[in-house]
Amino acid sequence: MPVTSDDPLDEVLKPPPDETLEQRQIRLEREAEARRVSAAIDASIKAERQARRKKRIVRLLLLGQSESGKKIAMSFKILLSDRSLGKSTTLRQFQRLYTPTAFREERILWRAVIQLNIVRSIRTILDALSHPPPNSPYSSPRLRSRSISRSRPTGNLTNSPPFHPVTLDIMGNSHYNQSNGGVDMHFSYGSPPQYPPPLPPQQRSMHYNGYTQHDEDEYPDSDTEFTIANYSHPNVPGYNHGSPRSDPSASSTSTLNQTPLDALKARLAPLTHIEALLIARLVPPNEEEATHLAGPGEYQSGVDEVPSPTRSHFSHPNNQHQPPNHNGNGSGFSPGHSRNSSLRNQEIFIRPGAGWKGGLSRARVNGSGNIASTSGSSQRPMSAGNTGLETPDEPQEVLHACRKDLIQLWHDEGVREVLRRRKIRLEEGSGFFLDDLERVTSLKYMPTDDDVLKARLKTVGVSEYKFEMEVSAGRDSGAEWRIVDVGGSRSQRPTWVPFFDDVDAIIFLAPISGFDQVLAEDRTVNRLEDSVLLWKAVCSSKLLANVDLVLFLNKCDILEKKLKSGVRLAKYVRSYADRANDLDSVSKYLRGKFGAIHREYSPNPRKFYAFCTSVTDTATTAGIIASVRDMVIRQHLKQSKLL
Ligand SMILES: Nc1nc2c(ncn2[C@@H]2O[C@H](COP(=O)(O)OP(=O)(O)OP(=O)(O)O)[C@@H](O)[C@H]2O)c(=O)[nH]1
Ligand SMILES: [Mg+2]
């Protein structure tokens, strides 16, 4: 009696009813061969699985996803609050340390980013010169009156942003609340900010008072009271403006007259073309979003704190004031293409991954090279090298041709005065290369390691970078690292959630130098406060309850400069009171605060590791990254019961 089966495949696969002996023989041989191949595949899969088990995979998530976790994997995530605080720089540090060859070979690709950083800095200066503050150098009567009319306070708050008690969820989304109590992420402000602020600048503050205030000592409680000042700095002469003579190549520190200045601006007009060219090179053609042009506020931290009239011009597309252009009294820059001019405000960004590098690489090797793969050890750009003898490209040639004017502009005393009055502190911001113009505009310029770490390219999205350790690191040698980098701005934070799963450790970066600045995306929120809130959210997350947290209190180098220049933390964090205003005391205090939050908000007790970092500093960061790596590996091995 024939055996019946429910499987429709049986019907299809069964031998034909009129099969001859010869056909049967062939069929059986084929089936035997298929079984042999299948067994070989099974064996190979098994061997691969065993090999993967033996091979350690270190997953470093810059707020990104680890893999399934089925295999024995070292995985930890780097969680970074806010934007521009060093996630991508930390990633680059890992690459520099553990895949130095790949890092070196890719340095040339960063030249385009650095060129764009320079062009953007220059545009910031020229934009500022186009709208100089009243009675400052270069303010013609006409410009002066325009500037004054733009900068007058409105005298009423009808244009003020809504201002309510706010709850920040773990993703940084604000939820406005009617009440102020109960939930641990609530905080409130005592008074709304005035907007725009009155001129001339004067100290104005709003109070953040979300928690009970205590006197703190070495281990303060987690309640931090912030006073958010919208003017960040006292008018300390020379603050963050560097010395005009700091670049030995400076040809003069005199103030240009208006006419030579106009001539100089005209000579810099080709930078408009270069800017468009660089954007086209860096951004894939179909990435419409990423072609937005940056405005100054996005990459100079100095203006973030002041919602000045200049900023409001940049912030509101409908502002009556026309963007400057090279035909009028403008900066000499125009967007260089037909995009909406309001987009000039936005910082250029890339999707993470090496797509932009792939594009540049292809351009350089005429289509034959491609490093679109994110693997640091595979498919390197064929023409990349570290000889310093790279063929100069068009942007480099233009920058080289403009170098004297660029240097003169940057070292001009009148220009410095305008920047000072506008509170534009390029030196403090990201992607600052103007003190190195002589070097970086040379025709044979090859970015150094430090240059690559200093370069600024905003991240949007999530991407995993894989690389094999080139450098033997004890137990770590041969491990595969997977680092996921993400965009850190508030709008990007919802993309983090899926990556919270299956994590061994988190590195959280808090840019503590931002204590006197506000978020670009929400100018009612102090940057440090935002980090504190996000830290609380991460600590209290049940999803992450068993994950060890590592805290990087980052940008300590900028913090130190700020404190030394006379900016007092106590002005912004009232509970800091009359403690010493130096790096040691401030970092110790903030470390204590973050540690206390960690203790108070963690669902389960866990270890707390904190480091004061300047992740652009190669020497100090190397040691810190090595400690973190060892700690994570130890912890992982412990958990895997392999230790
Ligand atoms: N001086 C100083 N600059 C830093 C430090 N960390 C990062 N930077 C600079 O700050 C800028 C922003 O750093 P990124 O690493 O791009 O910031 P991010 O967190 O990836 O920012 P998004 O991509 O916007 O989320 C870069 O130009 C860095 O060189 C630091 O500790 N000190
Ligand atoms: Mg980034």
* pLDDT tens-digit readout, 379-431: 333 333 333 444 458 999 999 999 999 999 999 998 899 998 888 888 877 88
Query: Distance from the CA of 256 to the center of ligand 2, in angstroms?
Result: 38
**Residue 150 or residue 596, greater confidence:** 596
Q: Which ligand is nearest to the CA of 92?
A: 1
Q: Is 97 within 8 Å of 453 (Cβ atoms)?
A: no
Q: Which ligand is nearest to the CA of 353?
A: 2
Separation CA 429–CA 175 (nearest Å): 29
Separation CA 643–CA 631 (nearest Å): 13
Amino acid occupying residue 71: K
- Ligand 1 pocket check for 615: Cβ under 6 Å: yes
Report the residue among 84, 96, 508 best suited for mutation to probe ligand 1: largest number of ligand atoms under 8 A from its CB. Answer: 84
Q: How many CB atoms lie within 10 A of CB 441?
A: 22
Please state, in angstroms and as integers, the Cα–Cα distance from residue 628 to each residue in 309, 501, 515, following that order: 44, 20, 26
In the numeric block, the tokens 């100054």 are attached to 296
Whose Cα sits closest to atom 17 in ligand 1?
84
**Residue 308 or residue 115, greater confidence:** 115
Separation CA 530–CA 515 (nearest Å): 10
Q: What is the pLDDT of residue 357?
A: 64
> What's phi and psi for 612, nearest 5 deg?
-90, 120
Please state, in angstroms and as integers, the Cα–Cα distance from residue 67 to each residue in 258, 493, 556, following that order: 60, 20, 33
Q: Which ligand is nearest to the CA of 83?
A: 1
**Residue 639 or residue 227, greater confidence:** 639
Report the residue among 301, 616, 625 best suited for mutation to probe ligand 1: largest number of ligand atoms under 8 A from its CB. Answer: 616
Separation CA 234–CA 99 (nearest Å): 44
pLDDT-based confidence at residue 523 (cuts at 50, 70, 90): confident
Whose Cα sits closest to atom 28 in ligand 1?
454
Residue 73 β-bridge partners: 57
Domains of the chain in start order, with CATH, are 57-103+460-640 (3.40.50.300), 109-131+260-283+391-446 (1.10.400)
Q: What is the pLDDT of residue 7?
A: 57
| For the chain, percent of residues with pLDDT exceeding 70 | 48
CB-based contacts of 545, cutoff 8 Å, min separation 6: 602, 603, 604
Query: Distance from the CA of 89 to the center of ligand 1, in angstroms?
Result: 6
Q: What is the pLDDT of residue 247?
A: 41
* pLDDT tens-digit readout, 325-383: 333 333 444 433 333 343 344 566 655 455 556 655 554 443 222 223 333 333 333 33
pLDDT-based confidence at residue 80 (cuts at 50, 70, 90): very low
pLDDT-based confidence at residue 138 (cuts at 50, 70, 90): low
- Ligand 1 pocket check for 92: Cβ under 6 Å: no
Closest atom, ligand 1, to C-alpha of 456: 27
Separation CA 61–CA 94 (nearest Å): 12
Q: What is the pLDDT of residue 261?
A: 81
Query: Distance from the CA of 80 to the center of ligand 2, in angstroms?
Result: 10
Whose Cα sits closest to atom 21 in ligand 1?
84
Q: Which residues are annotated as a binding site for Mg(2+)?
A: 459
Beta strands in 197-335, from DSSP E residues, in sequence order: 205-208, 226-229
Q: What is the pLDDT of residue 331?
A: 43
**Residue 239 or residue 70, greater confidence:** 239
* DSSP structural state of residue 373: S
Mean pLDDT of 234-246: 36
Report whether pLDDT(150) > 50: no
Mean pLDDT of 307-313: 25
Q: Which residues are annotated as a binding site for GTP?
A: 453-459, 554-557
Q: What is the pLDDT of residue 450?
A: 92
Report whether pLDDT(308) > 60: no
> What's phi and psi for 348, nearest 5 deg?
-70, 140
Q: What is the pLDDT of residue 114?
A: 95
Q: What is the pLDDT of residue 497?
A: 67
**Residue 581 or residue 373, greater confidence:** 581
Half-sphere exposure of 294 (CA within 13 A, CB side): 28
Most confident of 3-17, 158-172, 432-446: 432-446
Query: Distance from the CA of 164 to the center of ligand 2, in angstroms?
Result: 30
* DSSP structural state of residue 245: T
CB-based contacts of 198, cutoff 8 Å, min separation 6: 153, 204
Q: What is the pLDDT of residue 280?
A: 80
Q: What is the pLDDT of residue 411?
A: 93
- Ligand 1 pocket check for 532: Cβ under 6 Å: no
Q: What is the pLDDT of residue 183?
A: 28
Nearest C-alpha neighbor of 612 from the set 566, 558, 572: 558
Q: What is the pLDDT of residue 157?
A: 26
- Look at 384-398, 432-446, 606-620, 624-638 and tell me which has the smallest mean pLDDT: 384-398
Most confident of 117-126, 153-162, 200-209, 621-630: 117-126
Mean pLDDT of the chain: 64
In order, the DSSP letters of 176-229 are E-S---SSTTEE-BSSPPPSSPPSS----EEEE--S------SS--S---EEEE
- Ligand 1 pocket check for 87: Cβ under 6 Å: yes
Mean pLDDT of 134-150: 48
**Residue 519 or residue 272, greater confidence:** 272
Nearest C-alpha neighbor of 230 from the set 561, 599, 519: 519
* pLDDT tens-digit readout, 465-484: 776 666 554 555 556 666 66
- Ligand 1 pocket check for 66: Cβ under 6 Å: no
Q: What is the pLDDT of residue 211?
A: 23
Mean pLDDT of 72-78: 34
- Look at 92-96, 187-191, 279-283, 416-420 and tell me which has the smallest mean pLDDT: 187-191
- Using alpha carbons only, give the angle 188, 189, 191 rounded to the nearest 5 degrees: 150
| For the chain, percent of residues with pLDDT exceeding 90 | 18
Separation CA 321–CA 150 (nearest Å): 8
- Ligand 1 pocket check for 86: Cβ under 6 Å: yes
Q: What is the pLDDT of residue 61?
A: 56
- Look at 110-114, 236-240, 622-626 and tell me which has the smallest mean pLDDT: 236-240
Whose Cα sits closest to atom 9 in ligand 1?
430
Report whether pLDDT(491) > 90: no
Report the residue among 79, 88, 89, 559 best suited for mutation to probe ligand 1: largest number of ligand atoms under 8 A from its CB. Answer: 89
- Look at 105-109, 178-182, 211-215, 539-543 and tell me which has the smallest mean pLDDT: 211-215
Nearest C-alpha neighbor of 165 from the set 153, 181, 177, 156: 177
Half-sphere exposure of 498 (CA within 13 A, CB side): 10
